[in-house]
Amino acid sequence: MRSWRTIASESWERFGLGYEVLHEANPRLVYACLRGFGDKRTGASPYGTWPAYDVVAQAMGGIMAITGPDGATPMKIGPGVGDIVPGMMLAFGILAAVHHARRTGEGQFVDIAMADAVLALCERTVYQHSVQGLTPGPEGNHHPFLVPFGIYPARDGYVTLGAHQQSFFEISL
């Protein structure tokens, strides 16, 4: 099944409005793409033609595997980070490419994959896996390395603490 993003991209190509054609006409051009799994120009993906929405990007980007109360219950993050964060990263990329084009006269092709942008949000788990060989799971409301750091029950509800350094406990007079 092809996504509307893939169909839209193929339409631009079909009308002669792909990056390569437009870049040849205007070398300063900044051309940006936001797709679920990236553009074939910047690297092939076996999922390149799959549709992607927020929940798909959250699942494929790995953030659902580290969210929630336990490893048996993958959980979507409330806000649409699979949609919002890739858009923010695309905006940053476009601004950087425009700045570069103004300085050098050379445009760029900017490509953001929704799944990659969500993976970037999983920063700690990426290096835990690549450096330590761990496959982190959900942490609930606590931090795996810092204590006290999390949400704790109190008599009248909950309290959130992030006091993992001695200086946080000291009182200055």
C-alpha to C-alpha distance for 132 and 80, rounded to whole angstroms: 30
Residue 59 CA, chain-centre distance (Å), reads: 11
C-alpha to C-alpha distance for 129 and 144, rounded to whole angstroms: 14
Residue of 39, 54, 83, 116 marked active site: 83
| Token output for 67 | 């969210």
Dihedral angle over CA of 123, 53, 85, 102, nearest 10? 120
Structural contact between residues 110 and 32, judged by C-beta atoms closer than 8 angstroms: yes
User: Active site includes 83?
Assistant: yes
Q: Which residues are catalytic?
A: 83
